[in-house]
Amino acid sequence: MNMLPNAEAMLDSRAPADPGRFADWRLAAKTIVGFWVGYALTVVARAFLGDDPLTMLQNKVLILGAGLVLTGFVYLAIKLLAPASNLRRQAVVAGLASMVAATALAATLMAAEGHMRSSKEEFRFQAREGFVVISKGDQIRIEKTAADPVILTMPKMSELKQWDQFRLAADTTVIWLFFFVAWSAVFLASVSQSQALALQRRASQAESAAQAAQVRALRYQVNPHFLFNTLNSLSSLVLSGRPQEAESMILKLSTFFRTSLSLDPNADVTLAEEIEMQRLYLDIEKVRFPRRLKVEIDVPAPLAGARLPALILQPVVENAIKYGVSATRDKVTLRIAAREQQAGLLELEVTNSGGVALKSPRQRYQPESTGVGLTNVCQRLDARYGRQARCSFGPFGEGGYRVLMTLPLDRDNSRADG
């Protein structure tokens, strides 16, 4: 059966839905309100510096309302006319939309001039010519000693010539243009930052997922590798007429697999738990080699709670049995030792000694048989810890072989006493 379509369907079902063109509307709303609230605060502060703050605030309500609506128009223009992936086009659309919004706000203010309340706030200053100039609302009063005051009434915008109206509208447009452009810059910068952070998160998640998949794949290679070796040993016991030993091996094999298969492939275990797993495996191998295999384990109690990848020692111990014990008729000592090094590192050493010399010293182990072994161990350490871990192996002494692994020491104090 082809399972690929089902897998693809599962991936599709887990994929997040497209958030849509207006997914960032909350960010837009916050920045729009924030800008205009900032403007309103300056207006309030300025109003209470004068004599008629209420009239000034009432006249500014129209600007606030129109400004909120027109800034929303700029946002809609950006979203509708420029794709989210093209920042340059968004900036161009934002600039053009800001020009339109500023022009519309200037036109609105000119059209609403007749509905504005006249302020009672009075400005008085002394001119150099000796006149006292008083400005109040749309009137200017000029007073001089021993002369009647002159009162001037400023014309309405609608009473000016069209060219003058255009010039005043252009001046007002330029003033508000900078406001809309400033909001557009802040909004686009915030969106770009959000997109960059989201991309960084996705890249980090993808890297973590790839690393986890690599560790999981390498971990899953251990079980069939060990199973093949053990079944070969079991077959040898049956063929050699040792049924009781074969039965004992089957029972221990079931215990080992029940324990190992219950582990999460990506989970860490304590060093004590890892050693206990290797004891189960070595008990199985002792059935095959009751006189040739001697096991020594040296793990200081303070290191029993150290965390490490599950079954990281399994391929190492298997290779020690396969290439050390199986290759000789002599008695072989297999030793597992743990030491704490400086700089917070844990050193694990697996050696086998006492048998015949290995065929040839090799700088890097070239896996045989099922294609896993020491290379698997080094790949798992590299995938899990990167440059923080080291893995070396090679012959030593008279017919011995040593594997040395160094990894960060991560203590599990809650289990250290166990």
pLDDT, position 226: 61
Q: How far apart are CA 173 and CA 17, in angstroms?
A: 41
**Which position has the higher pLDDT, 396 or 32?**
32
Q: Give a yes or no: residue 61 inside a domain.
A: yes
From 204, 228, 262, give the residue that closes a domain. Answer: 204
Question: Percentage of the chain with pLDDT > 70?
Answer: 82
Residues 85 and 163 in one domain: yes
Question: Percentage of the chain with pLDDT > 90?
Answer: 25
Q: Where in the sequence is the domain holding 158, given as residue range(s)? A: 23-204
Reading phi first (left if > 0) and then psi (alpha if -120 to 50, else beta), residue 397 is in left
Residues 136 and 27 in one domain: yes
What DSSP character marks residue 119? P
Q: What is the DSSP string of 131-157?
A: -EEEEETTEEEEEETTEEEEEEEPPPG
Residues 404 and 318 in one domain: yes
Q: Is 314 exposed, middle or buried (0-12, 13-18, 19+ CB in 10 A)?
A: buried
Residues 125 and 254 in one domain: no
Residues 187 and 110 in one domain: yes
The tokens describing 228, both together, are: 């093949």
375-414, pLDDT tens digit by residue?
A: 778 888 888 888 889 999 888 877 788 999 999 998 865 4
Residues 264 and 176 in one domain: no
Q: Give a yes or no: residue 232 inside a domain.
A: no
308-364, pLDDT tens digit by residue?
A: 988 888 888 888 887 888 777 888 999 999 999 888 899 999 998 876 544 444 433
Q: What is the DSSP string of 288-335?
A: H-TTTEEEEEE--GGGTTBEEETTSSHHHHHHHIIIIITT-SS-EEEE
From 151, 181, 204, give the residue that closes a domain. Answer: 204
Residues 266 and 367 in one domain: yes
What is the pTM assigned to this prediction? 0.49
- Structural domains in the chain (count): 2
Residues 306 and 193 in one domain: no
Residue 255, domain CATH: 3.30.565.10
Q: Give a yes or no: residue 56 inside a domain.
A: yes
Contacts of 202 (CB under 8 A, 6+ apart): none
Residues 258 and 390 in one domain: yes
Residues 118 and 168 in one domain: yes
415 contacts 272 by C-beta, under 8 angstroms = yes
C-beta atoms surrounding 410 within 10 Å:
14
Q: What is the DSSP string of 30-59?
A: HHHHHHHHHHHHHHHHHHTTSS-HHHHHHH
pLDDT, position 252: 81
Q: Give a yes or no: residue 73 inside a domain.
A: yes
222-278, pLDDT tens digit by residue?
A: 556 567 767 877 887 788 888 887 888 888 888 877 776 676 666 788 999 999 989
pLDDT above 90 for 145: no
Residues 309 and 197 in one domain: no
13-28, pLDDT tens digit by residue?
A: 343 434 567 888 889 9
Q: Give a yes or no: residue 40 inside a domain.
A: yes
Residues 274 and 382 in one domain: yes
138 contacts 121 by C-beta, under 8 angstroms = no
Q: Give a yes or no: residue 211 inside a domain.
A: no
Q: Give a yes or no: residue 346 inside a domain.
A: yes
Q: How confident is residue 215, by pLDDT bands cut at 50, 70 and 90?
A: low
Q: How far apart are the first and last CA of the chain?
A: 47
194-203, pLDDT tens digit by residue?
A: 888 888 888 7
Q: Give a yes or no: residue 210 inside a domain.
A: no
Q: How far apart are CA 334 and CA 47, in angstroms?
A: 89
pLDDT, position 24: 86
